[in-house]
Amino acid sequence: MNEIDPRIQAYLDGELRLEDLPAGLRDRAVEWDRLFGVMSRSAPAGAPAGFETRVLGAIRESASLEETSRGDRTAARPGWLEWAVRPRSVRVSPLAALGMAAALALLVLRPWSGTGPLPDQGVPAGSVYVQFVVEAEAAESVHLAGDFSEWQPSIALSDPDGDGVWSGRVPLEPGVHEYMFVIDGSEWISDPNAAVSRDDGFGRQNSLLAVSEISGT
Amino acid sequence: MLGAEARQQTDAELVRDSLAGSEAAFGEIVRRYQDLLYRHAERMSGGADEAEDIVQTSLIKAYRNLESCHNPNRVGAWLFRITANTCKDHLKGRRRNRLSLEDVPALETEVGDPVDALDRKGIQARIDLALHRLPLEHREAFVMKHIEGLSYQEMGAVLGVSVPALKMRVHRARDGLQELLEDLK
């Protein structure tokens, strides 16, 4: 790719003045300014007439549809809610889904029982190792972010055989956790196989995972 | 009393009233931000109908999840982020580079020098086509920076991406645009 001179980039970012550029670069910088001028002048003025009315009408309509189907949903809700919070001796199943669809799954590899030495330093007693798996064929990197990492995409998943299925093991304390996968450092996606998700407040869905305490062993 | 009623409500007050069930309050929020959201959606999608669908979907989503807006004073940035995400989700469903010169939106004919208007129309069509050939995230950053005039800090607050990463995206977009515009000459 024919890259733009970094000094012109700095000028376009407002970090240099035109007179700070060597004379030979000024014409190119001015051309960019002209181009931005054309773009700004031709930008759409804004929403079309009556748009607000249509939006409010659509909101009313969707609220009415929701009202109609509320009976079904309230009947269905206790099932998944119960799934999300029910204590269990950790066997989040996704192996089945992995086998069936070669898509993603969430599986517990090795529950930590709390007896004997901790397998890794700094892992709280009672933690359970959960394996996260996601299929992302075209990705160059996949990270995991969640409430357990303060939403920093700091947990790298790996794909050692290059088949596009990325995975990683993470020790989690018992409770309900929210998480997302981050593809190539910028694209946040929900777990396509998560049974339960919750709106993150920004128009996307956080996936939910319930981890229960180990009952004995 | 009249003075109090004439005072423009703050965003936080409108969010509070909307949550209390006031449709008028949410309508005012829509009025306040619809142009900004629509411009972004149209520049990203390249079509007026698509832009309207995207913004409408985003605003319905926002209305249903208004309690998740943790900083009502910045409801505009929150709406922008929802719209930007909806745009990206929508555009991922399309095959990249499928636009041709005939698909780019036409400019309104302007009164004035017809040759000049034609030139501008041709230039604009090429710019639009080149923009739509950029990778989605590069296009998004470029549009926010150079068409919507946001600062890198404002873009970071909306997209949740660091300033250096955004600068990199804008730089790559300019590099790509330069090359594409050369190809389209």
Question: B160-173 as b/e, with b when 16 or more CB fall inside 10 Å?
Answer: ebeeeebbebbbbb
Tell me the residue range of the domain where B178 lies. 102-185
Task: Tell me, yes or no, if A23 comes closer than 8 A to chain B by beta carbon.
Answer: no
Q: Which of A2, A34, A59 is the best mutation test for B, with the most CBs of B within 10 A? A: A59
Q: Where are the domains of chain A?
A: 6-41, 87-211
Q: Would you tell me which residues 21-80 of chain B have a C-beta closer than 8 angstroms to some C-beta of chain A?
A: 23, 26-27, 30-31, 34-39, 42-43, 48, 51-52, 55-56, 58-65, 68-70, 78
**B83 and B135 share one domain:** no
Check residue B23 and give left, alpha or beta (phi > 0: left; psi -120 to 50: alpha).
alpha
CA distance A171 to A112: 9
Give chain B's domain count: 2
A110 alpha-carbon distance from chain centroid? 25
Output the pLDDT for position B96: 44
Which residue did the predictor score with more confidence, B4 or B59? B59
Closest C-alpha to B88, from B138, B153, B36: B138
**B76 and B115 share one domain:** no
Q: Is the pLDDT of residue A136 over 70?
A: yes
The DSSP symbol for B80 reads H
The answer to whether the Cβ–Cβ distance between B43 and A40 falls below 8 Å is no
Q: What is the number of other CB atoms lying within 10 angstroms of the CB of residue A188?
A: 18
**B15 and B69 share one domain:** yes
- pLDDT band per the 50, 70, 90 thresholds, residue A117: very low
CA distance B131 to B123: 12
Query: Going along chain A, which residue ranges are E strands?
Result: 105-107, 128-135, 142-146, 155-157, 165-172, 175-183, 187-189, 196-199, 205-211
| DSSP code per residue over A2-61 | -PPPHHHHHHHTTSS-GGGS-HHHHHHHHHHHHHHHHHHHTS--SSPTTHHHHHHHHHHH
**B160 and B177 share one domain:** yes
The answer to whether the Cβ–Cβ distance between A2 and B178 falls below 8 Å is yes
Backbone angles phi, psi at A120, to 5 degrees: -135, 145
Which residue did the predictor score with more confidence, A196 or B110? A196
Which residue did the predictor score with more confidence, A28 or A118? A28
**B12 and B88 share one domain:** yes
Each residue's pLDDT tens digit, A36-93:
887 777 767 788 888 989 989 888 887 766 666 555 444 444 444 444 444 333 334 4
Output the pLDDT for position B145: 92
Closest C-alpha to B86, from B57, B64, B114: B57
Backbone angles phi, psi at A111, to 5 degrees: -65, 140
What tokens does A163 get?
A: 């088949």
Q: With contacts defined as CB-CB under 8 Å, which chain A residues touch B137?
A: 186-187
CATH code assigned at B86: 1.10.1740.10
**B6 and B80 share one domain:** yes
Q: How far is CA A112 from CA A24, A83, A93, B86, in A?
A: 66, 22, 17, 40
Class of domain A87-211: mainly beta
- How distant is the Cα of A168 from the closest Cα of chain B, in angstroms? 24
CA distance A18 to A35: 16
CATH code assigned at B124: 1.10.10.10
Each residue's pLDDT tens digit, B65-76:
898 888 899 999
**B112 and B149 share one domain:** yes
**B42 and B120 share one domain:** no
**B164 and B183 share one domain:** yes
pTM above 0.90, yes or no: no
From the list A9, A62, A185, which residue is nearest B174 (CB)? A9
Q: Of B44, B78, B94, which residue is a domain's last?
A: B94
CA distance A195 to A133: 14
Closest C-alpha to B179, from B146, B133, B140, B148: B133
- How distant is the Cα of A166 from the closest Cα of chain B, in angstroms? 21
**B146 and B85 share one domain:** no
Identify whether the C-beta of residue A47 lies closer than 8 Å to the C-beta of residue B31: no
Residue of chain B with shortest Cα separation from A31: B178
Q: What is the dihedral of CA B170, B173, B179, B185, to 10 degrees?
A: -110
**B60 and B133 share one domain:** no
**B63 and B138 share one domain:** no
Each residue's pLDDT tens digit, B6-58:
578 999 999 999 999 999 999 999 999 999 999 999 988 878 888 999 999 99
Q: With contacts defined as CB-CB under 8 Å, which chain A residues touch B40?
A: none
Output the pLDDT for position B120: 61
Q: Of B46, B62, B94, which residue is a domain's last?
A: B94
The answer to whether the Cβ–Cβ distance between A9 and B65 falls below 8 Å is no
| Residue the block writes with tokens 């969640």 | A146
What tokens does A53 get?
A: 């009315």
The answer to whether the Cβ–Cβ distance between A43 and B55 falls below 8 Å is no
Output the pLDDT for position A122: 58
Residue of chain B with shortest Cα separation from A59: B60
Output the pLDDT for position A15: 92
Q: With contacts defined as CB-CB under 8 Å, which chain B residues touch A39?
A: 124, 127, 146-147
Task: Tell me, yes or no, if A202 comes closer than 8 A to chain B by beta carbon.
Answer: yes
Q: Of B52, B69, B94, which residue is a domain's last?
A: B94
Closest C-alpha to B103, from B49, B157, B174: B49
